[in-house]
Amino acid sequence: MWSGRFREPLDRTFEQWQRSFPVDWRLLPHEVAASSAHARMIAAAGVLTSEELEKTLQGLIAVGQRPDNWAHRISATSGEPEYATSTQQIGAAIVASAPQAEDIHHYVELELTREIGSLALKLHTGRSRNEQIATDMRLFVRESIDATLFGLEQWIAALLSLAESAGDSVMPSYTHLQRAEPVLVAHWMLAYVSMAERDHSRLVDARIRVNLCPLGSGAVAGATLALDRHIAAEALNFDAPTPNSMDATSDRDFAIEFAQALSMLGLHISRFAEELTLYSTAEFGFLDLPERFSTGSSAMPQKKNPDLTELIRGKCGRLTGTVVALSTIMKGLPLAYNKDLQEGQEPVFDAADTIAGVLSVLPSFTRSLKFRFDKMAGAAETGYLNAMAAATYLTHKGVPFRKAHEIIGNVVRFALEHDKELHALRLDELQMFAPEFSLDFHDAISLRATIDCHDVMGGTATARVKQSLTEAQSRAKARDLTRHHSVSEVVNA
């Protein structure tokens, strides 16, 4: 591919070690698409005739079908059905089939030469692998963003259906992991919907910056042919060509942003996983883990372990690791392309695979959760979770809040000493602490009243939560419509 200026053969070990084909073979569909777009662009510049272009495009289609051919061959020799052929098996076969290929770009060129002969050698006119890898990675990240958005929407739908079926069930909320105030179970679920919606918008936003086409940037300074870069950008469904060739060939901020968005998403999912792990313990008993998503212990026969949620917590660490790896690779790289960038591929693939794995189980797991609403309500009714509502009651009677806080603190102390909840105290007992207590006090601190006194936007009052749920459901529907719209646009295009 580049041996012309060399007189000495490469060190064998070094030569093997510097290859990226064992990793980047999975960019094949993107490399084929980008090469086809480049072919159209150089044809328009007069480098290929229309017959040559046609032949090149057909050849590239054939090269793009190599994985299918390998799946077919593997299943024919193993007797396993074709769909059972794993991506790893196919990758290993492709990599083994092309021992000379240094990377995916080299592989496609070699295979294209096998398909269409020396015409293939014209394809590299006016381009560089530096712009190719930047383009392939953008295509890969864009595809993974779309898949993640879809999975995330499924998870949001699952959370919304849990929120809906929870109705007006209550549970304790916690601060410092100590019981704080009662909230609706739906309110808790909607907290995760809020997080997931921000993750969604972060990915949608990152996609805007990913969706620009480096083709035509050349090795660093721009192509040496007068190419119409819009041709390639349009062929690949990019919004526009990238504006600067040095930047386009050497920055990977789009990949880092993608990893950051996934890391944040992973972080939210991990908090959810941690809460479920905790709430499924005998100590909390707020939910029974679905058996089909749990595992047993080989030692202790009674165990049902939350492996799914634990593994999800672990995967989140891995996603954050990607951000650190990519940022560390990029940091301090002089402009423009440096081979260090090749090292960034693996973490990006790993993050994409990790989130795809998590989102392949999370929505159905979430849907199958069964809460023990009785236990949750029981926990919300004990432990003085209505103390804040009690203090608020006094403020409605004109007592300044600081004072009310102190009075209720003393009442709680008294109740603790007598092993009673606040609502079990008699009016005469209460009035020892403040004359403002009267007959309406017990209604004001009932579980329902304690919930409903949080009647602010974003609060847990029943009507507010109902409203929030409806709004979240219509946002989900709107996202669904956009998706159908964009899918039909692609189909009709």
Q: Which residues bind to ligand ARG, rule: CB under 6 A?
A: 20, 103, 129-130, 133, 337, 339, 341-342
Whichever of 132 and 366 has its CB closer to ligand ARG, that residue is 132
Please state the closest distance from residue 455 (CB atom) to ligand ARG, in A: 57
| CA–CA dist 275, 121 (Å, integer) | 58
Nearer residue to ligand ARG within complex by CB, 124 or 230: 124
For the bound state, the minimum distance from the C-beta of residue 177 to ligand ARG, rounded and expressed in Å, comes to 46
Say which residue the tokens 């920055």 belong to.
251
CB nearer to ligand ARG: pick between 337 and 437: 337
Q: Give the nearest distance from C-beta 201 to ligand ARG in angstroms.
A: 31
Residue 43 identity (one-letter amino acid): A
CB 217 within 8 A of CB 245: yes
Tokens of 137: 């990675």
CB of 103 to ligand ARG, least distance (A): 4
The DSSP secondary structure of 321-386, one letter per residue, reads HHHHHHHHHHTTPPSS--GGGGGGHHHHHHHHHHHHHHHHHHHHHHHT-EE-HHHHHHHHHSSSTT
Choice among 297, 360, 438, 486 that is catalytic: 297
- Report DSSP state, residue 295: B
Complex with ligand ARG: residue 294 or 342, whichever CB lies closer:
342
Q: Which is nearer to ligand ARG, 273 or 351 (CB)?
A: 351
Burial class (CB in 10 A: 0-12, 13-18, 19+), 373: middle
Active site residue 230: no
Q: How far is the CB of 2 from ligand ARG (least distance, A)?
A: 8
Neighbours of 362 (CB within 10 A): 24
CB of 75 to ligand ARG, least distance (A): 30
Nearer to ligand ARG, 104 or 162 (CB): 104
Spatial distance between the Cα atoms of 78 and 369, rounded to a whole number of angstroms = 40
Closest to ligand ARG by CB, 95 vs 434, is 95
The CA-based angle 148-151-156, given to 5 degrees, is 120
The residue type at 251: D
Decide if 108 contacts 31 (C-beta within 8 A): yes
CA distance 367 to 189: 12
β-pair type (178-184, 170-175): antiparallel
Tokens describing residue 398: 């004109």
Q: Is 297 considered catalytic here?
A: yes
Nearest to 57 by CA among 110, 8, 112: 112
**What CA–CA distance (Å, rounded) separates 198 from 204?**
10
Give the shortest CB-152-to-ligand ARG separation in angstroms.
29
> Which one of the listed residues 3, 50, 118, 176 is annotated catalytic?
176
> If 0-12 CB within 10 Å is exposed, 13-18 middle and 19+ buried, where does residue 283 land?
exposed
Q: Give the residue numbers marked as catalytic.
A: 176, 297
